[in-house]
Amino acid sequence: MEAAIAVGYWSGYRGWAPSTVDWCERNYEICSWIAEFWNSVSSLAIVAVGLGGALASHRYGRGELRFVIAYAAITLVGIGSTLFHMTMLRPMQALDELPMIYAAQTMLFCILENDTRLPKYGKKLPLALSVHAIVVTALVSLTDGDLQFYTFQVSFGSLELGTLFLTALSASREHDQRARQLYIKGFMAYIIALACWMSDIQFCETLRKMIPMNPQLHAWWHVLVSCGLYTLTVAGQHARQRVLVAEEKDHEATIEVLCHFIPVAKIKERQ
């Protein structure tokens, strides 16, 4: 990992420090006022997934707010990521990283409370996640340099891996063929996205020597992780909606495809 040197339009803006991490895309190469152009533009995919998912959950769900809140948190991640890559400044980095923590916590809550109509863990789970959020927010905000980078990566990575593990368990128990396909596609996109992220940060100089044009792997991370996260979340929503309508004879949970490629979990009347 190399330290960020944001020499350009935003350098020294309001006396703010540069970010503690820099990515393989060269700063201000495309645009004089956007530090990392492709990483900024690709972050809008996260915003689109968050907004689209929140609207679909509100329209086709059963009034539960948990997935709407989860998608809203993803939207904040996308906004923070856009601002971070535009400026490469430390405050904007926090606006990217902290919502990632909160979004992962919300997803973890959704998975842990997905299988029963009434809360399985009562108030204990929200309280534990809230305390964790406060502690991690303080650690990520008050540390700097490599310590800050690894504090965030460990905090977010543990949440991410835990959530993915529980999602994989749900996928292994899934009998609905449509939902199983979503899990497979979601995990494939997520794994490829992680490979792009790791390659960009670990092998940047090697890639620059081997490939004449930057493959923009961090930008592909944004796009692919958005697709994977959305697809996995829709599969989880479908499982949740089956629980909600299990005792109803006139409604069913289904997965529909909008515009030929956007899956949506939906509760509808039986035909």
Residues placed in the known binding site for Zn(2+): 85, 218, 222
Q: Which residues are annotated as a binding site for Ca(2+)?
A: 22-23, 25, 27, 36
Q: What is the 3-state secondary structure (H, E, C) of the chain?
A: CCCCCCCCCCCCHHHCCECCCCCCCCCCCCECCECCHHHHHHHHHHHHHHHHHHHHHHHHCCCCCHHHHHHHHHHHHHHHHHHHHHHCEHHHHHHHHHHHHHHHHHHHHHHHCCCCCCCCCCCHHHHHHHHHHHHHHHHHHHCCHHHHHHHHHHHHHHHHHHHHHHHHHHHHCCCCHHHHHHHHHHHHHHHHHHHHHHHHHHCHHHHHHHCCCCCCHHHHHHHHHHHHHHHHHHHHHHHHHHHHCCCCCCEEEEEEEECCCEEEEEEEECC
Q: Which residues are annotated as a binding site?
A: 22-23, 25, 27, 36, 85, 218, 222
